[in-house]
Amino acid sequence: MSLPPPSSDTAALVTGASSGIGAEFARELSRRGHQVVLVARSGDKLAELAAELGAGAHVLTADVGHPAARAALPDRVAELGLSASMLVNNAGFSTLGPVAKSDPAAELNLVEVDIAAVVDLCSRFVPGMVERGRGAVLNVASTAAFQPLPGQAAYGAAKAFVLSYTQSLATELRGTGVSATALCPGPVKTGFGERAGFAEGDFDGALPKVMWVSAADVAKKAIDAMAAGKRVVIPGAVNRVGAGLAQLTPRALLLPALARVHPGLK
């Protein structure tokens, strides 16, 4: 398995491309010669990134939390004279705190962005890839996918969904020339935590420095994994060990320990 080759009429569509890991996906794919379609709500940030990347970068401002915006994307890509040879479902966010104090609108928006958008866009773009006999999907999950996460209950469950969905999709796509990979990063220095409501220093001690991986390194490892046709990639040796231990530890022991250290429950 390998990535589809760069061409003048294909591109990688990257959601949540305006910053953080999404922007690094776009940079890495562009370095490898691919055109990129940058999708996010922030048109100004996308325009800045497109200017950096050059003529092969195309901006589509859209909020993938809205079904109508997602439904319009295939036609908008076609209007650029392109088809999506790769789909990177990177857009996502987390809420913070106990369910008993949650905002229903924010929780449902998380479900739309972190779950529904993944399913919707795969359903819209994967059939064309299969028809052409070549393509690759990257769905961004998290190491939070490997255990429930008190304090971020909806986020942990959403990422578990993305991991399971992608593994099933990868199996369905065997023999089609299309691959599907789930990326499960641990902690990464981006604006993600601030949007969720974490304060600086919230995870000091709970998440040792050795667990942190740069956004650029995460993007490179993820795209290498796509090229190799891997189903799951977890950047960082410590994070891989942690994900394995989380699956093996009895929930009666693991969940109270997680709840004790989680900033959202303090």
Is residue 186 a contact partner of residue 209, using CB atoms and an 8 Å limit?
no
Tokens (6 digits) for 131:
């028809």
Q: Which of 25, 125, 155, 165 is catalytic?
A: 155
Of 93, 185, 92, 74, nearest to 131 by C-alpha is: 74
Helical ranges in the chain per DSSP H: 20-31, 43-53, 67-79, 104-110, 117-132, 153-172, 192-196, 215-227, 237-248, 251-261
With tokens 């990464």, the residue in question is: 188
Backbone angles phi, psi at 40, to 5 degrees: -170, 175
Is 155 noted as a catalytic residue in this protein?
yes
Instruction: State the catalytic residues.
Output: 155
